[in-house]
């Protein structure tokens, strides 16, 4: 079985620490670690490589790069800001891809 590399943007880390209460962070992190085994369990967001995983009231957005075997966490939102966040992240696809390609060459 292939184990995927988990990577995150700096913005994701800041959002995670700000939006998710300290007492929930370890629980959510443990669930995210399960994506190392199968990153395709989250809900697809219009592209096979762009997905979300729901935890309580939060949605965690990530990109899957098959060729690099990388899961890249790129954003978090609540239900109210979900579509705004998805649209924002779609605009950044190219820069996310460039980062992953450069880091995991």
Question: 99: phi > 0 → left, psi -120 to 50 → alpha, else beta; which?
Answer: alpha
- Polymer length in residues for the chain: 105
Mean pLDDT for 75-104 is: 97
Q: 31-79, pLDDT tens digit by residue? A: 999 999 999 999 999 999 999 999 989 999 999 999 999 999 999 999 9
Whichever domain contains 84, its CATH number is 3.30.2310.20
pTM of the model: 0.95
What is the pLDDT at residue 62? 98
Q: For residue 59, what are the domain limits?
A: 5-103
Report the distance separating Cα 93 and Cα 35, nearest Å.
Answer: 20
Q: What is the tally of structural domains in the chain?
A: 1
Q: 73-85, pLDDT tens digit by residue? A: 999 999 999 999 9
pLDDT at 105 over 90: no
Distances (CA, A) of 9 to 2, 54, 76, 95: 23, 18, 11, 11
What is the pLDDT at residue 2? 82
């Amino acid at each position: 079985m292939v184990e995927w590399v988990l990577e995150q943007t700096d913005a994701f880390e800041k959002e995670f620490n700000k939006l998710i209460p300290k007492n929930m962070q370890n629980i959510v992190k443990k669930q995210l670690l399960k994506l190392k085994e199968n990153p395709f369990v989250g809900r697809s967001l219009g592209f096979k490589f762009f997905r979300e995983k729901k935890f309580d009231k939060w949605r965690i957005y990530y990109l899957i790069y098959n060729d690099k075997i990388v899961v890249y966490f790129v954003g978090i939102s609540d239900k109210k800001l979900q579509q705004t966040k998805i649209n924002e992240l779609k605009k950044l696809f190219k820069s996310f891809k460039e980062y992953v390609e450069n880091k995991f060459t």
